[in-house]
Amino acid sequence: MNQSTDPQKTGMAAAPLPTARAILDRMAARLSCRDFDGSPIPRDELLAMLADATEAPSSCNQQHWHFVVVDDPAQLARAADLAGGNPHFRSCAALVYLCFQKGWTHDNFSVVQGVAAAGYHLMLSAHLRGWQSIWNAGTGDPDKVRALLDLPPTFDNQGAIAIGRARPDAPGRKPPRRPLSSVVSFQTFARPAETVYPARPAAAYPYHAMSRASNPFAEWDPTRWTPAQLADYRAWSVWAKSPLAGVYTSRRQGEATERELDLIRPLPPAAQVAEILPWGGTSTVTLAQRLPGDARLTVVEAHRNNLDFIADRLPREGIARPVDMALMAGARLPFADGALDLVVIPQSLEHMADPAAMLAEVRRVLKPAGQMVLSLRNRASRYGAEWARGESRGQVPLQGPFTPLRPKALAALLQDRFVVEDLHGIGLSAGGDAEVLTAGPLRFRRRLLALRARPV
């Protein structure tokens, strides 16, 4: 053993390897919990976890962190209301807001890095003590969170960690990790091409210029992505939540999924049905509930992660029927020619690198009397205008990049492949309602276009 690694000469005590491995394995078993049972946590145990958190490293040992602990039920309820999509704020035992002092040593966001290190140390302490936790970057409107916590102007909040006891039936699958070979390189940068996502051309890409609401480098046009890049992006972000019932439901979508599926005409006995690229399975739940009992549903995705997530979610949504899971091979659907009675494309055509190729594939796998039910976001609607003004200028969403299509562009994609039997416009406002217009030119101004078509 050389001098630099000899624990006796460096003053460092080396734990026996089996002990170190056991500790590391237990740490690696930590997973995020979004389904707490509401039981309280003793204050002294919580303080012990926070003491552990302060053992984390910080830039120049400044320790400019501050932890605001919310464990009062009424205050937790207010925090949950602010966070919107985080109902686990209400049911956790304690919510620890990670705050930092502004105006000190911000080179490379060093203060933020220190708070993040302390946050992870806190989660490991909770995990090793038998509690569950989850790190949340989204805590709600910053000004309202500031008012909730009575933060002074020289401090800011960068997230919160919820700690508590998991329900007995809470999801126990840890989201998958990327292969080490795709995130590690030696001496110089090297990374698989599908894991390097497109960005808009720029002279430089300063990370301080990027935010959720404003990211001038985000490439929203899916035709500038390869199918492999799209599959990779969507595959990992689907685990942004646990596969609990009701996840990824959309306030903008409202009841629109039901109205889209109203277009399905009666199916033959033992119908073969495929749903294409449903990402997290929200539309899969509704479709599975609507199909006849003897129909066979196959969910088709571009990556195994999406299929695993949906397979975990469906039983939690009360779906007892068998559902097959199948991967696309590139842009090719995994079915024989003329095998399917129904193909459903639930607002995913606008996410595809080559929507024309996908429609050609759908045409190939449908039976002559088969039907395609397709829905998409409408660029010619009020929502489309708001998307162009605001949403499209921020970060690419978790489901991947998309560009709402105009009715004329949709008609061009369908031409020579399908005959449209029925077309509805759904949703008058930019989000939330599901009012249906079944005829007339004004339906082409609705938020969503939904249609049923048969092969030519």
Q: Which residues contact 153 (CB under 8 A, 6 or more apart)?
A: none
With residue 387 as reference, give the H or E element that holds it: helix 382-389
What distance separates the 2 farthest-apart alpha carbons in the chain?
A: 84
Convert the pLDDT of each residue in 170-193 to its tens digit.
999 899 999 999 999 999 999 999
What is the rounded end-to-end Cα distance, in angstroms, of the chain?
A: 75
Give the three-state DSSP class for 258.
Answer: helix
Q: What is the per-residue burial (b if ≥16 Cβ within 10 Å, else e) of 24-43?
A: eeeeeebbbbbbbeeeebee
Which one-letter DSSP state was computed for residue 280? T
Q: What share of the chain is helix, strand, coil (3-state, %, to 5)?
A: 35, 20, 45
Neighbours of 22 (CB within 10 A): 12
Residue 149: per-residue pLDDT:
97
Structural tokens at position 241? 């939540």
pLDDT the model gives residue 429: 84
> Which stretches of 87-200 are assigned E, i.e. beta strand?
94-101, 132-136, 155-164
DSSP state of 230: H
455 strand-pairing partners = 418
pLDDT at 105: 66
29-164 in CATH: which number? Answer: 3.40.109.10
C-alpha to C-alpha distance for 129 and 125, rounded to whole angstroms = 6
3 state DSSP class of 127: helix
State the pLDDT at residue 86: 86
Pairing of strands 94-101, 132-136: unpaired
Q: Measure the CA angle with vertex 237, ends 219 and 132; round to 5°.
A: 145
The pair of three-digit structure tokens given for residue 191, joined into one six-digit string: 């990374």
Q: Tell me which fold the domain 256-455 belongs to.
A: Rossmann fold (3.40.50)
Domain locations in the chain?
29-164, 256-455
* pLDDT for res 198: 97
- Copy the structure tokens of residue 84: 């919107």
DSSP letter, residue 302: S
Predicted pLDDT of residue 13: 60
For 333-366, give one letter per residue: b (16+ CB within 10 A) or e.
bebeeebbbbbbbbbbbbbbbebeebbebbbbbb
CA distances from 231 to 298, 405, 433 (A): 18, 21, 30
pLDDT digits (tens), the chain, 456 positions: 344 444 444 445 665 667 888 989 999 999 999 999 999 999 999 999 999 999 999 988 999 999 999 999 999 999 999 998 789 999 999 999 999 998 776 677 889 999 999 999 999 999 999 999 999 998 999 999 999 999 999 999 999 999 999 999 999 989 999 999 999 999 999 999 999 999 999 999 998 898 888 999 999 999 999 999 999 999 999 999 999 999 888 877 889 999 999 999 999 999 999 999 999 999 999 999 999 999 999 999 999 999 999 999 999 999 999 999 999 988 899 999 999 999 999 999 999 999 999 999 999 999 999 999 999 999 999 999 999 999 999 999 999 999 999 999 999 999 999 999 999 999 988 878 899 999 999 999 999 999 999 999
Q: Is 452 helix (H, G, I), strand (E, B) or coil?
A: strand
Q: Give pLDDT, residue 365.
A: 98
Name the region of 52 (left: φ>0; alpha: ψ -120 to 50; beta: rest): alpha
Q: What is the pTM of this model?
A: 0.91
Task: Select from 258, 250, 322, 254 the least CA-distant residue to 280.
Answer: 250
- Retrieve residue 235's tokens: 């595959």
